[in-house]
Amino acid sequence: MEKELSINQIIKDLKESILRFPDKRTGKNTQYELVDAGMGAFSVFFIQCASFLEYQREMKLTKGHANAESLFELENIPSDNQIRNLLDPISPENLEPTYQGIFLSLERTGVLEGFRSYADHLLIAIDGTEYFSSQNIHCENCSHRTLQNGKINYYHSVITPVIVQAKNEHVISLEPEFIVPQDGQEKQDCETRAGKRWLEKHGSFYAKHRAIILGDDLYSRQPFCKALIEKGFHFILVCKPDSHVMLYETVDFLAANGVLGTKSVRKWNGKYGEIWTYRYANKLPLCADEAAMEVNWCEITIAREDTGTQVYKNTFITDFEISDTTVETIIRDGRSRWKIENENNNVLKTKGYHLEHNFGHGSHYLAALLLSLNLLAFLFHTVLDLGDERYRAIRKVLVKRRTFFQDLEALLRYFSFNTWDDVFSFMFNGLELNSG
C-alpha cells in the first residue's frame, strides 16, 4: 500500500491534527496533554474495546511498555474521566482537516477512481442520524422533543456524508455536520439546515472533484437544489408525490397525453423474472412558484413477471438530462443512497462502533467530538480494507468483524508490539496465510 495511506501514516496525520487543538487550560492542571486525551479516545474506538486504556496502563506497569505508546503515540495514558474533562471544550471542527487529508490521499493513490459512477462522478450520500438520547442528561448543544407523556427527550443528531457506489461494499466517510441549536435562531436546528451548512463549509472542495449529491425527499426542495447547483454539484434526489404536488400534476398530464419517456427491461433476480419499468421527463417545474427551477424526473417500478406484483418503486429528480440510454444508470446511482443507511449508519450502530451509546456527554462538545473520533475510526478501518492486503486477508479469514476485533484486543492486551506492521504480520503469519 502507498506509504501515505498506511495505518502508521494516517495515525501520525491524526495526531498532527490533535496537536493543533486549542488548549484553554490555565494554572498547573496540565499533567496530561490534550494530544494524549485525543489519541487515547481514538484508540478506544479504533480497537473497539472500552477497557483498552485500562489494559494499557496495566501493561505499562508490568512490562514498562504499552501498545498505546507505540501504536497510537501516547506519551502518558489518561483515564476515561481525564479524557472526558480534557476534550469537552474542543469543537469537532478541529478534526475536519483529517477527513479532507484522507480524501486527498485516496485520490492521489488512485483509490477514488474505483468509486466513480455516472459521468465519472463520485456519489456523496447525505443523511441524518441520532447518536445520543436521554430524558435526564442534556447540554447547550442538545435538541429536544416533547414525548406523549409530557416529558422532554434530549438528543443529539448529525449528518454523516459518505462516498458510495452501487456495487461497492465500502463507503468513505466525509466530515460530519452536527445538528445543533444555532445562535440567533428561534427554531430548533434541522437536517436540511445542517445540510446547507455542510455545503457552505465543504461544498466547494468536493465539487471540484466532480461529485453528485444523493439524498432523500427532505433534500429535494428548491432552496437546497439551488444551493447544490451554485456550489457546482450535480444531484439525484428522492422526490415523493405528496411533497411535490405541482411536479406530479405535470407528470400526470404528460402521462395522460402519452409523452412520458418509457422503457421496460426484463431481469432475472436468481429466483424469478422481474420487469423493470422506467418513466422519465425533462424540464419539469420543481414547485408551483413562478420562479420554479426546472428539474428532470424519473421513476422506476419493479414487478414480478409471473404475478405482476409490485416489489419496488421509487422516484428521483436530477439536473442530468435523462434519456433511454441514461435513465437506468441515473436511477441505479440514485438508489445507491440506501448505502448510507445499510453500509454506514447501521454498521456504526450494530457492528462494534456503538454509535448510539453514551460514551460521554459533557457540557459543551464532548459528545460530538467523541462521535467524530468514532467516525474517523470507521474511516481508518475502511482505508485499511481498501489498501492493506494483509489486513484484508486477515479480515477475510476471520469473517466476522467482531472476531477480528476480539483477537486484536486480546493480542494488544497480552503482547507488546513496536509497530502496526508487527501486529498485522503476527496475525497474518499466525493464521498461516502465507501458505495460501
**Do residues 107 and 208 touch, judged by C-beta distance below 8 A?**
no
DSSP 141-204: T-EEEE-TTSPEEEEEEEE--EEE-TT-S--EE---EEE-PPTT-SSPP-HHHHHHHHIIIIIH
Per-residue pLDDT of the chain (436 residues; tens, 9 = 90+): 568 889 999 999 999 999 999 988 776 666 789 999 999 999 999 999 999 999 999 999 999 999 999 999 999 999 999 999 999 999 999 999 999 999 999 999 999 999 999 999 999 999 999 998 888 988 888 888 999 898 999 999 999 999 999 999 999 999 999 998 876 565 678 999 999 999 999 999 999 999 999 999 999 999 999 999 999 999 999 999 999 999 999 999 999 999 999 999 999 999 999 999 999 999 999 998 889 999 999 999 999 999 999 999 999 999 999 999 999 999 999 999 999 988 888 899 988 898 888 898 988 999 999 999 999 999 999 999 998 999 999 999 998 989 999 999 999 999 999 999 999 999 999 998 764 4
pTM of the predicted model, to two decimals?
Answer: 0.94
Write the single-letter amino acid at 406: Q
Q: Rounded distance, CA 222 to CA 287, Å?
A: 7
Q: In the chain, where are the structural domains located?
A: 1-109+358-436, 236-339
Tell me the C-alpha to C-alpha distance, in Å, between residue 246 and each of 241, 287, 294, 321, 395. 9, 6, 12, 20, 51
The predicted pLDDT at position 185 comes to 61
The predicted pLDDT at position 436 comes to 47
The predicted pLDDT at position 132 comes to 87
**Do residues 303 and 264 touch, judged by C-beta distance below 8 A?**
no
Contacts of 313 (CB under 8 A, 6+ apart): 299, 300, 301, 302
Task: Identify the H or E element spanning 28.
Answer: none
Q: Rounded distance, CA 366 to CA 98, Å?
A: 18
Q: Rounded distance, CA 322 to CA 13, Å?
A: 43
